[in-house]
Amino acid sequence: MKKYLAPWSMIFILILLVLTGCGNEEKVASSNNTNEEEQEQQEKEQVKETRTVEHLYGKAEVPMNPEKVILLSHVSWEGSLVAVGVKPYAVMAYDNEFPPHLTEELKGVTALPYADEINSEEIVKLNPDLLIISDRYKPLYDQLSGTIPTVVVEVGGDWKEDHLKVAEAVGKIEEGKKVIEDLEKKAEEIGNRIRDKVGTETFMAVSINKKDIRVYGRTNHATNYLLFEDLGLTPAENIPEDFGENISIEGLVKYNPDHIIDVTYFNSGEFYDSVTQGEVWNSLEAVKNGNVHTLSTTWGFWDPIEREKGLKEIEKLLIGE
């Protein structure tokens, strides 16, 4: 005899199946919600994860791995960023042009107009997660440091200190140290080769500006350290002990180096011609002997990329290799 389930029993089973299904759906939904909440919480924690960087004006809580870095400085610290593997989002540019030694490295980077005063609203619009600025932009720091992580670096005499602070700001301090170590080795090797050729012949670096002549000194400037510390060249008599001085054409008479390193940025113009075609300039021993070495790397050697290129260029100019 066949047995049949009573209608009410089938209804009961159907109800159980429906309830079980709903329970499973609720569990899945709950599980999905939990996963989403955990993911969102992880993302928030990643966003909030910071580290403390001490700088010229205090301390800043900066992102562990900043992705949108803006750098504002009249010296080329962007080269320090590139050297440690960080491409900035935006940097300042003269006439919309980046430093010539960083043209390739900064392709695609936003060019900001060079100015002594920066409009804070324009920076806010770019929405950076880290701002690195030189000490000349104190007003900008006062306006933005409360909302944008900002590290202020003093433009000092020792380029290494500046480089390491920029590297530290983006969490690359060890990489920054390695860059310096490698560069010091190259400088020592190149310096040895140059000194073997020139001996104790004396050197002076100059830059002919629009209205005067900058004579670089022995210390407290990245260019000075490149010549007299990294390369170990012999400084000319009477050049300043400190970072340098600006002089007139007539002021050149007290200097008479064996070699002149010309780091003039614009090698043309009325004043430039009046200097290089004038009697005082052409009476110098370095000029008469054809020992004026004009460099194409002329941004002051504040970053490791320019320093390396400058070292190689000076070597080629002095010993032809």
- What is the per-residue DSSP string for 21-81? HHHHHHHHHHHHHHHHHHHHHHHHHHHH-EEEEEETTEEEEEESS-SSEEEE-SS-THHHH
Torsion of CA 135, 136, 139, 141, to 10 degrees: -30
Q: How many CB atoms lie within 10 A of CB 173?
A: 16
Q: Measuring CA to CA, how many Å separate 284 from each of 51, 227, 236, 247, 278?
A: 54, 20, 12, 16, 11
pTM: 0.82
Closest to 83 (Cα-Cα) out of 2, 160, 190: 160
Sign of CA dihedral 51, 77, 301, 281: negative
pLDDT of residue 94: 87
Q: Give me the mean pLDDT over the 110-126 stretch.
A: 94
Residue 245 CB contacts under 8 Å (≥ 6 apart), including other chains: 214, 215, 217
CA atoms within 13 A on the CB side of 260: 26
Q: pLDDT (tens digit, 9 = 90+) per residue, 145-193?
A: 999 999 999 998 789 999 999 999 999 999 999 999 999 999 999 999 9
Q: Give me the mean pLDDT over the 109-130 stretch.
A: 95
Q: How many CB atoms lie within 10 A of CB 35?
A: 10
Euclidean distance between CA atoms 11 and 316, whole angstroms: 95
Domain 177-319: which topology? Answer: Rossmann fold (3.40.50)
pLDDT of residue 217: 97
pLDDT of residue 205: 98
pLDDT, mean over the chain: 89
Q: Where are the domains of the chain?
A: 50-171, 177-319
User: Are domains 50-171 and 177-319 of this chain identical in fold?
Assistant: yes
- Answer with the residue of higher pLDDT: 17 or 168: 168
Does residue 9 register a pLDDT over 90?
Answer: no
Q: Which amino acid is at 115?
A: A
Does residue 211 register a pLDDT over 60?
Answer: yes
For the domain 50-171, what is the CATH superfamily, name and number?
Answer: Nitrogenase molybdenum iron protein domain (3.40.50.1980)
Percent of the chain with pLDDT over 70: 85
Contacts from 114-123 at CB under 8 Å and sequence distance 24+?
Answer: 114/74, 118/72, 120/144, 123/70, 123/72, 123/148
Is 72 within 8 Å of 133 (Cβ atoms)?
yes
Least confident of 154-163, 223-232, 306-315: 154-163
Does residue 34 register a pLDDT over 60?
Answer: no
Least confident of 38-42, 127-131, 227-231, 307-311: 38-42
pLDDT of residue 266: 87
Does residue 262 register a pLDDT over 60?
Answer: yes
pLDDT of residue 187: 98
pLDDT of residue 48: 74
> Which single residue is written with the structure tokens 């000092």?
156
Q: Give me the mean pLDDT over the 279-285 stretch.
A: 96
Does residue 285 register a pLDDT over 50?
Answer: yes
